[in-house]
Amino acid sequence: MINMTVKKPGAEVASIKKKQATSLWLLSLRRFLKHRMAVAGTVLMILIILFVIGGAFFLTEDYSNKISLVEKFKPPSAAHPFGTDGVGRDILARAIWGGQISLLIGVISVTISIAVGTVVGLVSGFFGGWIDSLLMRFTEALLSIPALVLLLLFSRSLVGITATINVLGREFSSSTIFIVLIIGLLNWMRLARIVRSLVLTLKEQEFVTAATTLGARQGRIVFQHVLPNCIAPIIVTATLGIGNAIITEAYLSFLGFGVLPPTATWGNILTGAQSQLDEVPWVWMFPGLLIILTVLAINFIGDGLRDALDPRSTK
């Protein structure tokens, strides 16, 4: 059976108009919402954020740092749903307060590495010449060393930092700041390369030539014309980078080169029990699961964003 539908001319015009009104961002948002895993990841991420922020209203930070040696290595019970660690601190409370720090470390260090990576990539790609050679050799040099080795090398100097600082009424171990800086400053290389290669193709395109012909200054061309076209890969790299940074902090803390007590992170909750990890599974199980769920959620979101922000995507 042949099914012919005759559209009224007016209806067609209306649908075209509707399409024109859809911005690029709205289109991307629609594609993102169609990506089931990405939506699941977003929901999971919101739940985790609610857990680390909401939980703080029920259990105070003082409680999370309260040492009680009689209670050490108690398995999960009604009083301590996640059990207690080697000095009797409640792991649930530490997972809540430590989660805030872990997520913060992820977000701030990624902000740093995105800033550095973008600037290096833009400068290198746009100006070329000896600046490009120098920056890219340095990038390559850093990429030739395993990330964890590089991070350990620099975070070893944190050992013995016991000072605390006061931010917004909360006491932080000052090693937190150093860890954020170290992770941020040693993770920009891949993004720099991505941005550079994008800039190399972008700067040959007509709209850049047009802008140059119109007399736009180089700074304006870089930030107004080239940078906006690099936004999609930057957002994707940033998202996935947060998960990576959280895992990195956990590795460093696990090996004893991370954030130092009293500040808790998901990573350093399990360091206290290094020698007896196989006897006290709850000490690493709960923070470990939180790390996995967070990274999983972030990876799903990143995957969804990659599809959603791809301008060639027709979904």
Partner 1 sequence: MGKYILRRLLAAIPLLIIIAVFIFFGLKISGADPLAYLANDPRIRPSDRILLTARLGLNDPVPLQFVHWLIGDDWYERDVTGDGVKDEFGTRMGLLRGDFGESIRYRQPVIEIIAQFMPNTLLLGLTAYIATVLISMAVGIFAALRQYSVADNVITGVSFITFSMPIFFIALLSVQIFSVQFKAWHDAGASWLPYLPVQGMYDVRGDRSLDELIRHMILPVFCLSAINIAGYSRYIRATMLEVISSDYVRTARSKGLAERRITYLHALKNASLPIVTLIGLDAPFVLAGAVVTETIFSWPGMGRLFIQSLEPIDPPIVMVFVLMIAVAVVLTQILIDIIYAWLDPRIHYT
Chain residues in the site for partner 1 (CB under 8 A): 137-138, 140-142, 144-146, 148-149, 152-154, 156-157, 159, 243, 247, 250-251, 254-257, 270, 277-279, 281, 284, 288, 291-292, 295-296, 299-300
Q: Smaller CB distance to partner 1: residue 27 or 147?
A: 147
Contact 237, 191 (CB under 8 A): yes
Distance, CA of 54 to chain centre: 21
Residue 162 Rama label (left phi>0; alpha psi -120 to 50; beta): alpha
Closest distance of CB 216 from partner 1, Å = 35
- Output 188 or 230, the one with its CB closest to partner 1: 188
Asked if 147 contacts 187 with a C-beta cutoff of 8 angstroms, the reply is: yes
Least distance in angstroms from the C-beta of 126 to partner 1: 22
Q: How far is the CB of 263 from partner 1 (least distance, A)?
A: 19
Q: How far apart are CA 122 and CA 313, in angstroms?
A: 25
8 Å CB contact between 249 and 173: no
* Shortest Å distance, C-beta 294 to partner 1: 9
Of 140 and 171, nearer to partner 1 (C-beta) is 140
* CA–CA–CA angle 23, 24, 30 (5° rounding): 90
CB of 285 to partner 1, least distance (A): 8
Based on CB atoms, which residue is closest to partner 1, 246 or 309? 246
**68 or 157: whose CB is closer to partner 1?**
157
Identity of the residue, 211 or 277, whose beta carbon is nearer to partner 1 in the bound complex = 277
Q: What minimum distance in Å lies between the beta carbon of 111 and partner 1?
A: 22
Closest CA to 246 of 104, 55, 117, 111: 104
The letter for the amino acid at 255 is L
The span from the CA of 146 to the CA of 50, in Å, is 35
Angle 281-309/24-34 helices, nearest 10 degrees?
130
